[in-house]
Structure 1
Amino acid sequence: MAKKADEGFTLVEQNVYPVPDIPMKDLLAAIPAHCFRRSALKSLVYVLWDLFVIGCIYKTTSYLDSFITPATLDLPHPYAYTALRVALWAVYTFFTGLFATGIWVIGHECGHQAFSESKAINNLAGFILHSAVGVPYHAWRVTHAKHHASTSHLTQDQVFVPHTRSELGLPPLNPEGENLLGSRVSEVVKRELWEALGDSPIGAIIGSAKYLLGGWPAYIIMNASGQKRYPKGTNHFNPSSPMFGTHHYNQILISNVGIALWLVALGVSIAHWGFSTVLVVYLIPYLWVNHWLVLITFLQHTDPLLPHYRASEFTFARGALATLDRNLLGDCGSIMAWIGAHATNGISETHVLHHVCSKIPHYNAWEASNALKKLLKSHGVPVEGAPGGWREVYRVYKECKFVEDEGEVVFFKNAHGVAQTRPAMPESSASDSGIEVGK
């Protein structure tokens, strides 16, 4: 909470983040052993269930659509039939996109080798599932593994990398008008930063909406919000991209073949059923999938409560714990919270656990997450954020503008230069990533 002091400064009572120093062996030991077991059959059942639900949504929508005619409904104006039909199919696209995100999540688990005990089955299933939703499987698998190895590392993480003060061209830190932690900021500095950043409600709404709608293709195609040390033009389709090793070359080509087949399938479908049908039945739900992917992952890794680390203070365990679990759609009530968690296979609700051990399949993640949280809460590590939804995206977008160029553990500051959180360092730290990204 902020309060104005007599001398023209805003002082902030900040949250304290206890920078963890928990060994990985302790984190993994907190998880019941049976949670690490993977079953191709069980994973396949979840894929079939998601497809079954999507089929039911389509059949139900088509059935109800057949009744929206003057012969069965007496509506006051001819346009009312069109409006009702648009509303009905809009509901279809929303829920289909939500459950299709669940398929995306299982494809993502394949990339973590969590679908099955067999690497060949994992990669085949992942290639099929991710290609079906427009994702270059191997390309994203490789960069996503690097993200897991370096989560919240300012120079190594692959996505959701914060902008620093200097990168945004903001005035340098002024020790006379503000402190490094962002707990004491003068009114002059606040105005200076506000004028440079701009943060109107309408601007925040438009900015967050553009992020949700275009963030995923922008990241895949042009590395938007990705690691800034990569050269301009870096993307997930060039097998010679600096994102990949030379041994990934053929895998990236295979991913591109999957995307080419996906585009051909779309073209054939449009030629057969017409663009408007494909648009409503597949393309708009596909845009919803992209939207949910960005919303979920953005909120998992972006919050004023979460630290980012420079190299000297980064460890794999610290990066893994620098994320939040959020109840997707929890701000819309308990029923929508249940639907959000069920449809997307709990990826938003068990994400801290997923970063601690990404090979645990989603159907075991709930139990494993509950066990892990008992340990983390005893250390005071925050693990749960506010429910995931559009309102929370808006709040986080406004509160997370930049981090400082100085400091080994940094937290987001808002458009006034105020940070909600400061670090409390342990006496010692030592670890390594424990993640292999080169295979």
Structure 2
Amino acid sequence: MSTITYTQRRPSISLTGGDKAQAAPVPDGNGNDFTPPEFTIKDILDAIPKRCFERSLARSLSYVARDLVLVGILGGLATQIHHIPYVWGRAIAWAAYTICQGLVGTGLWVLAHECGHGAFSPYRLANDIVGWILHSSLFVPYHSWRISHSKHHKATGHLTRDMVFVPRDRETYLKSRDIAELVDEAPLATVYFLIVQQLFGWPMYLLTNVTGQKYANVAKWKINHFWPSAPIFDKKDFWDIVISDIGIAAAVMGARMAILRFGWQNFVLYYFIPYLWVNHWLVCITYLQHTDPTLPHYLADEWTFARGAAATIDRDFGFIGRHILHEIIETHVAHHFCSRIPFYHGEEATQAIKKVMGTHYRRDSTNLIVALYRIARTCQFVEGPGAVKMYRNGNGIGVDAKDKKAE
């Protein structure tokens, strides 16, 4: 059963727009009135116990060691699959292996993500070494993504500054429909969109900055996470990007050696399919953390850091989320208010900030796959009369259903 905590509060005064009163509440995608929160980042940080900010290199490394042991155990078990006498039994075993190894790989990705935020330990060099190794092994350019992800955290929910999952407006959405307009209301079209997003969304983001900001007068081939002079980065980031590219080159060489040594079939089964599962979970997790009918997006006049951080939602993946994926799903709201809090203090920090956020804290316990389909159907573009924009869709679901054919 889904449980969503939501707010209906009195209109507030803009924190960035002088003495101008905010416009009337904007209905969210479910039809509930939304007004931006009034608390400040200081209110949030003051509520979090100081022990939540304590980082331990030894403790963090123990989680890396645990996950690597799990990788080894799963790989060892997979070497015995060929002993299963029936083809269907081997197929089931390989499917189970790739799914489980993909989840463990995602957990290692999350620990590298902790390194990029400085939440892994108080030591930057240790963070960068561990993060570079772990991310490179998963074909992620460590510093490149660390930098763009940091900018995302600094501008979450800001329509012109956020770095990922920047929603389209109605006009852009309608222009993108073309022939797809004939079928975009069909559930099968949503399934097709999700398959493409889940398989190719992550590499396409790294290669083309899809769902990121648009950069006018810049060649498309320069807008990626591998070009040191890409507009995503600042000039000071040049050598960090080069170091990231060296990590990817090393991973490519490692993959080539593995294929030559063990054959491409084994490479696909042992590494590549689990790698695709890792990509799936990354896109699923991040998409659902920042996309929901209840979540706002802001233009500059109404955006503040606290409002942007609050424009996120916690979800639930049960034992897997808590123990394999290191609570990245369950404590993401707190993570956006202070990304240097290590994941093992995330739950305590979450309970603390809920007291300040009140009904502005959002949590949805819907099954992740069900939520993925539902969100893809309901959150297709944002619009609103003022500087606060809410999700709408072209499927006639929720608010403004009568306007779904509007041009």
TM-score for the superposition, normalised by structure 2 = 0.86
Q: Which amino acid aligns with 1:129?
A: L
Alignment-derived partner of residue 103 in structure 2: 98
Change (3 A) 1:197 1:401: farther
Matched, 1:198 2:184: yes
Alignment-derived partner of residue 430 in structure 1: none
Alignment-derived partner of residue 353 in structure 1: 334
- Give runs of aligned pairs for residues 109-128 of structure 1, distance below 5 A: 109-128=114-133
Matched, 1:366 2:382: no
RMSD between aligned alpha carbons? Answer: 2.0
Matched, 1:395 2:365: no
Q: CA deviation at 1:364?
A: 1.2
Q: Which amino acid aligns with 1:27?
A: I
- Give runs of aligned pairs for residues 216-255 of structure 1, distance below 5 A: 216-229=202-215, 231=218, 232-233=220-221, 234-255=223-244
> Given the alignment, which residue of 28, 31, 37 partners 1:14?
31
Check the 8 A contact 1:40/1:117 in 2, yes or no. Answer: yes
Alignment-derived partner of residue 58 in structure 1: 75
1:13, 1:125 → 2: CA distance?
43
Q: CA deviation at 1:382?
A: 3.4
What's the CA shift string for 1:276-296, capped at 9, x where partnerless?
Answer: 111111111111101100000
SS at match of 1:167: helix
Check the 8 A contact 2:108/2:134 in 1, yes or no. Answer: yes
1:104, 1:13 → 2: CA distance?
34
Check the 8 A contact 2:31/2:399 in 1, yes or no. Answer: yes
Matched, 1:207 2:193: yes
Q: CA deviation at 1:417?
A: 6.0
SS at match of 2:313: coil
Paired positions, count: 366
SS at match of 2:389: strand
Matched, 1:164 2:169: yes
Check the 8 A contact 2:297/2:389 in 1, yes or no. Answer: yes
Q: Which amino acid aligns with 1:204?
A: T
Q: Which amino acid aligns with 2:256?
A: G
Alignment-derived partner of residue 314 in structure 2: 325
1:52, 1:269 → 2: CA distance?
20
> Given the alignment, which residue of 84, 101, 122 partners 1:68?
84
2:111, 2:399 → 1: CA distance?
35
2:183, 2:155 → 1: CA distance?
28
Q: CA deviation at 1:268?
A: 0.3
Alignment-derived partner of residue 298 in structure 1: 287
1:313, 1:197 → 2: CA distance?
36
Q: CA deviation at 1:66?
A: 5.1
What's the CA shift string for 1:407-435, capped at 9, x where partnerless?
Answer: 200111011466559xxxxxxxxxxxxxx
2:380, 2:110 → 1: CA distance?
28
Check the 8 A contact 1:113/1:359 in 2, yes or no. Answer: yes
1:388, 1:358 → 2: CA distance?
25
2:130, 2:346 → 1: CA distance?
20
Change (3 A) 1:66 1:355: same
Q: Which amino acid aligns with 1:167?
A: T
Structure 2 gaps of 5+ residues are 1-28, 401-407
> Given the alignment, which residue of 406, 412, 431 partners 2:391?
412
> Given the alignment, which residue of 335, 340, 343 partners 2:324?
343
Alignment-derived partner of residue 266 in structure 2: 277
SS at match of 1:403: strand
Q: CA deviation at 1:341?
A: 2.6
What's the CA shift string for 1:79-117, capped at 9, x where partnerless?
Answer: xx2221011011001011101101000101111011111
TM-score for the superposition, normalised by structure 1 = 0.80
Q: Which amino acid aligns with 1:245?
A: D
2:233, 2:289 → 1: CA distance?
25
Check the 8 A contact 1:165/1:405 in 2, yes or no. Answer: no
Q: Which amino acid aligns with 1:258?
A: G
Matched, 1:35 2:14: no
SS at match of 1:412: strand
Alignment-derived partner of residue 190 in structure 1: none
SS at match of 2:212: coil
1:97, 1:294 → 2: CA distance?
13
Q: CA deviation at 1:58?
A: 2.5
Q: Which amino acid aligns with 1:400?
A: C
Change (3 A) 1:48 1:138: same
Change (3 A) 1:218 1:66: closer
Q: Which amino acid aligns with 1:109?
A: E
Change (3 A) 1:17 1:355: same
What's the CA shift string for 1:238-281, capped at 9, x where partnerless?
Answer: 00101111111111000000000000000001100111111111
SS at match of 1:407: coil
Moved more, 27-36 or 292-301: 27-36
The alignment-based identity, stated in percent, is: 43
Moved more, 387-396 or 156-165: 387-396
2:289, 2:281 → 1: CA distance?
12
